[in-house]
Structure 1
């Protein structure tokens, strides 16, 4: 018999796959997130390194980081998302690896492998009860002193996904395993997310 976790994973893959196939993936901006663009174009942008993009979707953020010299691996549940990301990478002529994975299985394969983990609409997509496991995952993927670069959806709408979170809650989730470098409101969100995003940098302790 399949385990409860296996059944949940099959249901999750089906759910996200259907959203991509129906074109109802509201988190898909069709472009890199503007806060990441401005961050990487700034003078204080971090040096390139091995980078994981969790819940990468169709790969726009992953390709942005790859275009700046980062060695990027994007991970997503949905086969349609991975296929679209590979097509975008090929069309852009950018070398990026995209893998269909359950992110919660990645630590066995990529323990302490990455210099950076990129967060954008993955944290808000998982059930809130799994957030401590997400923090543990990010810690395990990063090398010592590696950084989480996160664009968090800090809305207060009922229900989800996307599930809302407050800046104070974000700090609390990551406090045990990470040093908070910054967590600030975003000024250049897309129109539909104005006033509902925070950009955070966390360094693995």
Structure 2
């Protein structure tokens, strides 16, 4: 498998080398909740859920939430978070390139999974997201903008991998997804990068 393997991520969680973790939920999630994009009782999956900050917010908001993570340590942490806060929700150890929901989903919250996957796997992942969602379902995406000098010479550097908006439009084409008109909200990241907040609707 191209890119980081399970052992890579397991070591990061075991040693606390999770610099991408804000220590709390992403601020864009509150904005999407306020905008009414995450209705109560909606079935939502959070791939690459990590420590489960967003799972807790979604569960408190009344959604039927499932977190997925590749890494045993992350799954354990996220499950413990929900249990400690007495919140409903499931956390499954799963490979997002193989996982299937038991029925179509209303929503997918995509924050850190895509940019953690090597670009060689992006097409397969995008196909998965389309399979997971029901027609009219929404993909709430935060596309990481992590340009690096090495990229100017054709090197693929990550994680996080740079999710160029032109690449994203090719990955999630208009024939399959409804795109909102730009400009898109920018959310700064502590490491000097930023994310573009985009809500796509599955056709």
Aligning the two structures, in what range does the TM-score lie when normalised by the shorter sequence?
0.7 to 0.9
Pairing 1:145–2:136 present: yes
1:127 Cα deviation (Å)? Answer: 0.7
Structure having the higher helix fraction is 1
1:193 Cα deviation (Å)? Answer: 4.7
- Conserved? CA contact 2:67–2:92, under 8 Å: yes
1:88 Cα deviation (Å)? Answer: 0.8
Correspondence for 1:80: 73
Aligned residues: 193
- Conserved? CA contact 1:119–1:151, under 8 Å: yes
**Matches of 1:34 and 1:193 in 2, distance apart?**
16
Pairing 1:181–2:180 present: yes
Please give the secondary structure, in 2, of the residue aligned with 1:118. strand
Supply the RMSD in Å over aligned alpha carbons.
2.0
Give runs of ≥4 in structure 1 deviating > 6 Å: none
**Matches of 1:171 and 1:67 in 2, distance apart?**
33
**Matches of 2:134 and 2:48 in 1, distance apart?**
20
Q: Which among 172, 175, 178 is matched to residue 170 of structure 2?
A: 172
Change (3 A) 1:161 1:188: closer
Q: TM-score, normalised by structure 1?
A: 0.86
Q: TM-score, normalised by structure 2?
A: 0.87
- Conserved? CA contact 1:85–1:98, under 8 Å: yes
Q: Which runs of 5+ in 1 are unaligned?
A: 1-7
1:186 Cα deviation (Å)? Answer: 3.3
Aligned pairs for 1:44-193 (under 5 A) are 44-48=36-40, 49-107=42-100, 110=101, 112-157=103-148, 158=150, 159-175=157-173, 176-181=175-180, 184-193=183-192
Change (3 A) 1:27 1:143: same
